Structures are given as C-alpha cells and as structure tokens.
Amino acid sequence: MINIAILGFGVVGSGVAEVLKQNADSITQKLSGEKINIKYILDKRTFPDHELGDRVTTDFEKIVSDPEIVMIVETMGGSHPAYDFSKQAICAGKNVVTSNKEVVANYGTELLELAKSHSVNYLFEASVGGGIPIIRPMWECLAANKIQSVTGILNGTTNFILTKMIEEGMDFDEALSLAQCLGYAEANPAADVEGMDTCRKICILASLAFGTAIDPKNVHCEGITKISSEDVAAAETLGYSIKLLGKAEKRAEGTYIITAPHLVGYDNPMSGVRDVYNAITVCGNAVGDVMFYGRGAGKLPTASAVVSDIIDIARVCKEPMTWTFSDEDTCMDHKNAPVRFFVRTNDPNAKDYFAGCVFCDCEDGTYAFITDEDTEFKLSEKLNNISVLSAIRVL
Ligand code: HSE
C-alpha cells in the first residue's frame, strides 16, 4: 500500500481522487499489485457527503509527521502556504507532486535542489499544459537535443474566452464566467487574463529547456484584456488568428522570452487551437519542431497529469516498457464499430435510402453526403442498395 496525502481538495485535488478511484485497477496493475491509498486530505472545508470525507483534516503537522505517508500531492494553488508545506514535506523525506505553477515558477529552483539533497522527487507535470504531457517528454524524450525554442498557447481560460468571443459572439465577462464554472480559471482570474499564468508556465518550460532558472518577474507579460473584436476581425481578413502565446527562444544575445497576444497565420496549426485546448511547439536542434496538443485546464485532464507523476514515483522498480502475448483475439471486428461515411454517388435513389442526410451537388454532376453514425456493418448493408462511386470514413 502506498499512502499519500492530497493538500487542497478543490477542482484538481478532487479530480486526482476521482482518477485514482476510476482507474484503480489499471493503476494497481502498473504498480505490480501495489495500491495507492489517499490517507489524508488537507482542506479547511469539510466534505461530509464525499466517500473520502473521513480523511479530511486541517492539521498539516499530522500529515507530515506520519511515517506512512510517502508522497504529498499539492493541489492548493497560490504561493502560500503551498510553498511552505512543500518545503516541509521534502525536508521530512516525502516526495512531492504538484500542479501549482505559481510555486514551481517562483520557487522551483530551491525546491528541486532541496528534493535532490533529500533524495526525494519534486514532480510538476501538471503545472504546464494541463493534461498534455510536456515536462517529462521534454526532459526525457527530447534529451538528445539542444532546445532552441518553445512556443505555446499555455492558458486554457484565455483561449476558451477568445474562442467563445470570436465564434459565438459571447461577451468577455460571460465567457469568463463560463470558464470559471467549468473549473478552468484561477481563483483570481486576473492571473489568466492578464497573462501571469502563461508567463509562469513559459518560465517553467524555458528553465527546463535551457537549464537555467528564469524568473517570471523579469519577463514581459501582456494579457488579452486589450484585444478588441476589431483587432480580431482585421487579423482574420489578413489570414491570422490572435492567440495569447508564451515564447522562449535561445538567441546569440541571450534568451528571448515573452508573454503576449500574437497573430498566428492560418498555415500554422496553432491558429486552429480552440476552446480550452493548449498547444506547445518545441524546436530541438536534432528533431526540429515537435508539437504537443491537448486540454490545457480542467479537473480530469489536470488530474491525469498529477496521477501520472504519482505513478511515476510509486514505480520504485520501474517496469520495463512491454506488452504480452495473448492467444485470444483482442481486436474487435472493425465492422462492429460506429462510423460515418462520406459517400459520393450518381444514384438518384440515394436520397430515398439516406433521407435526412444533407446532399451537396458536385461539379461533375455527381452528389455527395455524409451518413449518420452507425456500425460499418449496417451502413455497408444500406450502401449496397445504391451505386456508390466512393465511400470514405469520416474521422
Ligand atoms: N487557469 C489555468 C488555465 C488552469 O486556464 O490554463 C490550468 O493551469
């Protein structure tokens, strides 16, 4: 049994408990049969209706002095007391996993050194990019490279707000309230919209990429509050989207690092990153550009990153990457999976067989439509009734 404590049972902390419960079997399997047990939850509030309500305490000393606790999961947000508790936990020989970008950006250097000197881990995958794996891939999978630049849409809330304003004509306050309801925004959303959150995240990435700590206080930081709908419309006319970016680049003169809205050309995949999604492009001198994409905020995506760090620490003896041989046929018949087809036909009966689908006329006198979703088996049977020129699956 691996006993852990969660500090802060808000959106992310409760998400961690949910993921650990929901995926308990597969996680236990990855830990060669060991179970992860949430022994304590530190929070000022009580959760009488939650199944872990009896684990809630306000006494950090009890947690940090418990020899059974091997890992502290800090999901409190804000610098204090999160930093102080993390430091105390490391000094007491506990591993620490955090989603707290403010603490990592402001105190990461100190806490990482402290963790090293106490032979414990301080892991922070969830501090950047929500559910996107970026910290460990940069550290491990891109280790062969000298990183030349990192550019990212790093704040889910602002990208969500910009998307809602541009695509749905929502006003700023309404879009922000929605982001708050969905658990994307910071406790003080000024950190999102004024750019500080992006700034902290690009500093964490740049510190990791270039090997020296970059203090957010020294980085130019603009948010999205001055962007007008006229700016957006004019940029669109020219073929650009407006995105809040964190950007860090190694140059001969030193590290160029900035947080600010940028025009991103439609030919750059970042221009199509919508809603709460984040995207990060890392350029290495051997690999070239590598892009990471996924949900940048939210309960379960962020918890996914936290729990992966928990598992990483819990794998005391790391299992080698492997798979096993099975005599059983584990693949399903692809014809039983639900699909949609793009169909091109010149059969006049198609409109009867596929009534309800939208048909469009093609230049060559044929016409095309997209089927409703059904198993490929059933759709193929139905398509056998008409003459089909092409049928292509829709992603
Ligand atoms: N407020 C942050 C965001 C949460 O919107 O990206 C995830 O770090």
- Express each pLDDT in 319-341 by its tens digit: 454 566 767 766 688 889 889 99
Q: 83-106 in b/e burial notation, b at 16+ Cβ within 10 A?
A: bebbbbbbebebbbbbbbbbbbbb
CA-angle at 294, arms to 31 and 103, nearest 5°: 70
**Which pLDDT value is given to residue 317?**
47
| CA of 179, closest atom in ligand 1 | 5
Cα separation, 273 vs 281, in Å, equals: 12
Give every CB contact of residue 250 below 8 A, 6+ residues apart in sequence. Answer: 146, 147, 148, 149, 210
Task: For residue 178, report the distance from its CA to the centre of ligand 1, in Å.
Answer: 14
Cα separation, 193 vs 162, in Å, equals: 10
**Which pLDDT value is given to residue 321?**
47
| CA of 186, closest atom in ligand 1 | 1
| CA of 158, closest atom in ligand 1 | 5
In 3D space, the residue among 153, 163, 159, 267 whose CA is nearest the CA of residue 202 turns out to be 153
Query: Which residue ranges in the chain fall short of pLDDT 50?
Result: 317-319, 321
Cβ(244)–Cβ(261) below 8 Å: yes
In 3D space, the residue among 175, 151, 105, 104 whose CA is nearest the CA of residue 278 turns out to be 151
178, 181, 192, 245, best to mutate for ligand 1 pocket (most atoms within 8 Å of CB): 192
Task: For residue 133, report the distance from its CA to the centre of ligand 1, in Å.
Answer: 15
Around Cβ 180, how many Cβ atoms within 10 Å?
A: 15
All structural domains of the chain, each given as residue ranges with its CATH number in brackets, are 2-131+301-314 (3.40.50.720), 136-296 (3.30.360.10), 337-394 (3.30.70)
**Which pLDDT value is given to residue 357?**
94
What pLDDT, in 10s, does the model give residues 102-116? 999 999 999 999 999
pTM greater than the 0.85 cutoff: yes
Give every CB contact of residue 323 below 8 A, 6+ residues apart in sequence. Answer: none
102, 184, 193, best to mutate for ligand 1 pocket (most atoms within 8 Å of CB): 184
Active-site position among 39, 87, 201, 250: 201
| 201 flagged as catalytic | yes
Task: For residue 159, report the distance from its CA to the centre of ligand 1, in Å.
Answer: 10
128, 193, 197, best to mutate for ligand 1 pocket (most atoms within 8 Å of CB): 197
Task: For residue 189, report the distance from its CA to the centre of ligand 1, in Å.
Answer: 9
Q: Quick one: which H or E segment has residue 147?
A: strand 147-153
Task: For residue 327, report the distance from its CA to the centre of ligand 1, in Å.
Answer: 45
